[in-house]
């Protein structure tokens, strides 16, 4: 990269020179505050007779002899151009004066548009991004301005400031000429993306999606950038209503099965993109297709009427947590893999699962991980005999008894009839009555919209404040009846009558204009037909609405049994019990780690946390302790140094390790549900901690993960990460001269026949051979995982392994 300090106006100079803002850059967004600061600086230049004023850096890449692609600095360049244009226009209008009658023409010809171009074919010296270009061109050509554009607003601001007469035309032009920038030209070996990141680490922060767009498009020639932007990125942004950060995060969750922090979406995408071998256009095609799924789900226009009716209500609750699963499921339907009936049933299943959990008050923390993995796990389980729907039902139902359980009819019924629905979250309350009114009817009343507009309200049939007449109607135990039933579903309904009717007797509420006798709502049919409103009437209505609810939000059963059960997972949470469980791996901070024990988990998590929070952890260790001490020596027996100066008790029980981590998470402000732990099934539980350290435990710890993938034919987004992790651990165990031990990679049949005779060296030689062949023929290792060879080899290694003395 070469650079020198230049007057900013010289960057515009040259008849055929054009400064091009590439399509991957965000729109011009300097506001009045920045424009005001610049103009004040120009006044100070004149008043203090400053020779020069530094205006920051501008970075670009020459694409041709005449085109200079702006990598960074578009805000400064565009603002300077608008200032010069405002000055030229006001000179022409004689609002300001100059001793040089040709000054306006010279500014336009040399710094705003090329000489020799008629106005109808204006060659702009500065070419902004698409959404700014129209507004900018209109100003230069004197056409009707685009009022909504920031370009137009800032141009008008400069006109107003110049017209105030703080500087003459000549003084202002002199001051503009004294603005200088560090102009940096990228050379062929420079990496535009890295330079752009470093330059934008301060100042007005880019959105995560801005940085992703730059990453994808930067480095391509301008024509390719514009083509990809128009055909892909622009379409993506429009499909998702310009909520691009949110969409990209959900896309990444669906592809990686991990949930990145909102401020880490760009970094997560960089890692994801590095693992893709196909051209960038392939990635953009895939993202665009997902943006269409996102749009169609959010706008309830999948093309399946029954599913769309359900989604219209589903979307009242902004349930984006389910989108990482629903987007690829919709993709399967569009690809003809799912029938419209199966797709509809899956939408109903997801809706039922989420609403039942809301009714029973289940915590929502577990949902991110459940929906991040639901589709990929279901696809992995599907066999020729089963369906995706069966696999999804199985995966949701297998969580019974955990934080991710699907509430059964008994639990749902109890909570549905007894819950205080009047104080239910407003959007859930509107959704509840929308669904109970319409159920599966094709002729819908828009209850939720009417509630939001204030046209109808959620009302108590038996009022919140009882009159003498109401107490008499309820009977001798009126106080208990009122306390029990006032906010329950059996006593709540929707009505358009005046709220002043609230305490009227039941008979008057029925007869008055807008009362229950004339109510158009199905919800009020039993109220309309009741002669009195007492406990028995509320019970009857409660039972009727419960029957409707169980039918609309069903508990769906399946006889599906997977060929191989997926590994159980559970977030650490505040009180989940991991005693007598055998850990396989854990996910935290966007990464997955295979481990052999909870001791490894403890070490690994603390090391990860120490990367960014070392000082806070040291302070916590000094003040609280709880198994942690800080210093050059251990605080007491059983501690080991996991990072320099930090000692941790690792010889404790699993429960103690979890208590230590939960306390540390609370101290650092982390959600304990962000740590997700994968385990062997309970039937395969090992003792609390194996105190014998085996020689090859770093390899045999992968057995459960490879077991899970044996016999699988579908792709797994986590496989590249698992492969890299295994190869890293295997490096020190590889046999350099493996050909002296085995001549080639044995076939699966040969392995089946001879494996029982293998010693450790021969197992390692075969693993080395597989790794070597995979480097020449990519896919070999994956095939050996899927056919079960890796799992069998590691199980044999475990059998012949010996304890380290």
Measured in whole angstroms, the distance separating CA 633 from the mean position of its chain's CA atoms is 42
pLDDT of residue 417: 97
Least confident span in 183-197, 235-249, 293-307, 621-635: 183-197
Q: Which residue has the higher pLDDT, 778 or 310?
A: 310
The Cα–Cα gap between 393 and 396 comes to: 5
Which tokens go with 281?
Answer: 């256009």
Beta bridge partners of 641: 647
146 near 135, Cβ under 8 Å? Answer: yes
DSSP conformation letters of 341-384:
HHHHHHHHHHHHHHHHHHHHT--STTHHHHHHHHHHHHHHH--S
Give the pLDDT mean for 558-584. 86
Ranked by mean pLDDT, which of 283-297, 564-578, 660-674 comes out on top? 283-297
Backbone phi and psi for residue 475, each to the nearest 5 degrees, phi listed first: 100, -175
Residue 65 burial (CB < 10 Å; 0-12/13-18/19+)?
exposed
pLDDT score at 336: 95
Percent pLDDT > 90 in the chain is 57
Q: In what order do the strands lie in the sheet with 583-588?
A: 569-571, 676-679, 583-588, 591-594
677-687 pLDDT, tens digit each:
999 887 665 55
pLDDT at 690 over 60: no
4 or 333, higher pLDDT = 333
Residue 87 near residue 38, CB atoms below 8 Å? no
pLDDT of the residue at 278: 85
- Give the C-alpha separation, 505 to 516, whole Å: 12
pLDDT surpassing 70 at residue 719 = yes
State both tokens at 278.
């196909």
| Model pLDDT, residue 201 | 46
The answer to whether the CB of 79 falls within 8 A of the CB of 70 is no
Alpha helices in 597-649 (DSSP H): 598-623
Q: In this predicted model, what pLDDT tens digit does every residue of 386-398 receive, in sequence order?
A: 799 999 999 999 8
Residue 743 is predicted with a pLDDT of 86
DSSP 8-state secondary structure symbol assigned to residue 419: S
- CA 260/CA 254 separation, integer angstroms: 11
What is the rounded average pLDDT for all residues in the chain?
Answer: 88
Render pLDDT for 390-419 as a digit per residue (tens, 0 to 9): 999 999 998 877 788 999 999 999 999 999
pLDDT attached to residue 688:
47
**Angle of helix 208-217 versus helix 280-298 axis, rounded to 10:** 150
Is-contact 431 452, C-beta < 8 A?
A: no
Q: What angle do CA 239, 243, 247 make, to 5 degrees?
A: 75
pLDDT digits (tens, 9 = 90+) for 200-220: 544 456 789 988 998 888 778
Half-sphere CA count of 699, side-chain side, radius 13 A: 25
Output the pLDDT for position 685.
58
Decide: 502 and 463 in contact? Cβ < 8 Å. yes
Q: At what angle do helices 388-397 and 340-360 cross, to 10 degrees?
A: 10
Please check whether residue 686 is in contact with residue 539, taking contact to mean a CB–CB distance below 8 angstroms: no
CB 104 within 8 A of CB 92: yes
Instruction: Indicate whether 633 pLDDT > 90.
Output: no
Q: Which of 34, 296, 318 is nearest to 157 (CA)?
A: 34
CA atoms within 13 A on the CB side of 184: 15
Structure-model confidence comparison of residues 741 and 497, the more confident one: 741
Phi, psi of 647 (to 5 degrees): -115, 135
Confidence of residue 103 (pLDDT cuts 50, 70, 90): very high
194 vs 65: which has the higher pLDDT: 65
CA distance linking residue 566 with residue 553, whole number of Å: 27
Q: How far is the C-alpha of 334 from the C-alpha of 296, rounded, in Å?
A: 11
**Which of 669, 661, 690, 695 has its CA nearest to residue 586?**
661
pLDDT in the model for residue 312: 96
- Looking at per-residue confidence, does 746 or 352 come out higher? 352
Tens digit of each residue's pLDDT (9 = 90 or more) over 487-528: 999 999 998 876 666 788 999 988 888 788 888 999 999 999
pLDDT surpassing 70 at residue 599? yes
Under a CB-based contact definition with an 8 Å cutoff, are residues 44 and 38 in contact?
no
CA 142 to chain CA centroid, nearest Å: 44
Residue 644, token pair as written in the block: 């320099």
Minimum mean pLDDT among 297-301, 358-362, 772-776: which range? 772-776
What is the spatial distance between Cα 309 and Cα 429, in angstroms, rounded to a whole number?
18
> What's the alpha-carbon Rg for the chain, to the nearest Å?
34
| pLDDT > 60? residue 627 | yes
Assign 198 a pLDDT band (cuts: 50, 70, 90). low
| pLDDT surpasses 70 at 1 | no
Q: How far is CA 417 from CA 241, 400, 420, 533, 623, in A?
A: 39, 22, 9, 17, 48
- Judging by DSSP bridges, how do beta strands 569-571 and 18-20 pair with one another? unpaired
Residue 215: per-residue pLDDT: 86
Region 12-19 average pLDDT:
78
Q: Is the pLDDT of residue 118 over 60?
A: no
Contacts of 322 (CB under 8 A, 6+ apart): 350, 354, 367, 371
- Tell me what pLDDT residue 122 has: 53
Task: Find the Cα–Cα–Cα–Cα dihedral 103, 108, 109, 112, rounded to 10°.
Answer: 140
pLDDT at res. 193: 59
Which pLDDT score, from 0 to 100, does residue 805 have? 55
Q: What is the DSSP string of 98-149?
A: -S-TTHHHHHIIIIIB-TT--GGG--BSEE--HHHHHHHHHHHHT----TT-
Tokens 């038996």 correspond to what residue?
Answer: 462
How many beta carbons lie within 10 A of that of residue 744, not counting itself? 11
Task: Give SS3 for 404.
Answer: coil
Q: What is the pLDDT of residue 114?
A: 66
């Amino acid at each position: 990269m070469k650079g020198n300090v230049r007057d900013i106006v010289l960057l515009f100079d040259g008849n055929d020179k054009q400064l091009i803002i590439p399509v991957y850059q965000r729109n011009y967004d300097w506001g009045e505050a920045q424009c005001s600061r610049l103009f004040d600086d120009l006044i100070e230049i004149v008043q203090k007779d400053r020779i020069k004023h530094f205006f920051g850096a501008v970075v670009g890449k020459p694409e041709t002899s005449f085109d200079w692609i702006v990598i960074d600095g578009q805000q400064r360049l565009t603002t300077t151009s608008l200032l010069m244009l405002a000055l030229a226009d006001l000179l022409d209008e004689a609002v300001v004066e100059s001793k040089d009658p040709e000054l306006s023409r010279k500014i336009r010809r040399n710094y705003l548009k090329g000489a020799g171009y008629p106005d109808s074919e204006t060659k702009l010296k500065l070419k902004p991004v698409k959404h700014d270009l129209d507004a900018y061109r209109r100003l230069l050509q004197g056409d009707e301005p685009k009022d909504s554009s920031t370009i137009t607003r800032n141009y008008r601001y400069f006109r107003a400031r110049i017209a105030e007469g703080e500087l003459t035309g000549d003084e202002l032009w002199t001051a503009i000429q004294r603005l200088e920038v560090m102009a940096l030209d990228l050379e062929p070996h420079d990496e535009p993306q890295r330079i752009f990141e470093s330059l934008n680490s301060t100042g007005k922060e880019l959105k995560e999606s801005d940085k992703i767009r730059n990453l994808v498009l930067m480095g391509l020639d301008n024509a390719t950038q514009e083509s990809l932007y128009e055909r892909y990125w622009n379409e993506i942004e429009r499909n998702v209503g310009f909520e691009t950060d949110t969409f990209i995060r959900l896309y990444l969750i669906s592809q990686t099965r991990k949930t990145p922090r909102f401020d880490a979406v760009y970094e997560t995408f960089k890692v994801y993109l590095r693992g893709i071998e196909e051209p960038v256009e392939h990635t953009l095609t895939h993202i665009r297709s997902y943006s269409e799924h996102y749009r169609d789900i959010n706008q309830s226009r999948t093309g399946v009427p029954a599913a769309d009716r359900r989604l219209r209500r589903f979307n009242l609750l902004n349930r984006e947590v389910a989108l990482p699963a629903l987007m690829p499921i919709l993709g399967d339907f569009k690809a003809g893999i799912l029938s419209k009936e199966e797709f509809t049933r899956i939408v109903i299943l997801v809706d039922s699962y989420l609403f039942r959990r809301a009714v029973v008050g289940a915590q929502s923390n577990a949902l991110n991980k459940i929906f991040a993995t639901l589709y990929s796990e279901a696809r992995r389980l599907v066999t020729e005999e089963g369906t995706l729907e069966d696999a999804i039902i199985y995966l949701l139902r297998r969580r019974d008894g955990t934080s991710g359980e699907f509430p059964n009819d008994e639990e749902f019924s109890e909570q549905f009839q007894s819950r205080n629905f009047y104080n239910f979250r407003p959007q859930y309350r509107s959704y509840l009555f929308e669904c109970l009114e319409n159920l599966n009817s094709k002729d819908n009343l828009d209850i939720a919209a009417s509630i939001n507009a204030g046209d109808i309200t959620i009302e108590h049939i038996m009022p919140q404040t009882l009159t003498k007449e109401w107490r008499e109607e309820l009977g001798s135990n009126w106080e208990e009846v009122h306390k029990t039933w006032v906010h329950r579903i059996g006593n709540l309904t929707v009505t358009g009558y005046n709220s002043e009717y609230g305490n009227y007797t039941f008979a008057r509420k029925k007869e008055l204009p807008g009362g229950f006798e004339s109510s158009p709502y199905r919800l009020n049919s039993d109220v309309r037909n009741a002669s009195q409103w007492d406990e028995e009437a509320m019970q009857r209505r409660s039972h009727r609405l419960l029957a409707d609810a169980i039918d609309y939000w069903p508990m769906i059963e399946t006889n599906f049994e997977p060929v191989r059960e997926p590994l159980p997972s559970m977030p650490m949470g505040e009180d989940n019990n991991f005693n007598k469980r055998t850990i396989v791996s854990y996910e935290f901070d966007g990464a997955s780690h295979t481990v052999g024990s909870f001791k490894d988990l403890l070490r690994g998590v603390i090391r990860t946390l120490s990367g960014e929070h070392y000082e806070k952890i040291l302070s916590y260790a000094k003040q609280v302790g709880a198994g942690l001490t800080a210093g050059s020596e251990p605080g007491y027996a059983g501690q080991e140094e996991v990072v320099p100066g930090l000692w941790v008790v690792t010889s404790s029980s699993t429960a103690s390790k979890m208590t230590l981590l939960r306390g540390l998470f609370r101290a650092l402000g982390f959600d304990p549900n962000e740590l997700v732990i994968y385990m062997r099934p309970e039937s395969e539980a090992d003792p609390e901690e194996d105190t014998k350290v085996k020689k090859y435990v770093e390899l045999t710890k992968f057995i459960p993960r490879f077991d899970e993938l044996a016999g699988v034919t579908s792709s797994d987004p986590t496989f590249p990460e698992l492969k890299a992790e295994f190869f890293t651990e295997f490096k020190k165990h590889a046999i350099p001269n493996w050909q002296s031990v085995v001549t080639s990679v044995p076939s699966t049949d040969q392995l089946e026949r001879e494996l029982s005779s293998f010693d450790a060296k021969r197992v390692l030689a075969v693993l080395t051979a597989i790794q070597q062949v995979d480097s020449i023929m990519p896919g070999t290792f994956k095939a050996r995982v899927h056919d079960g060879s890796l799992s069998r080899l590691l199980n044999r290694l475990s059998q012949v392994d010996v304890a380290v003395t």
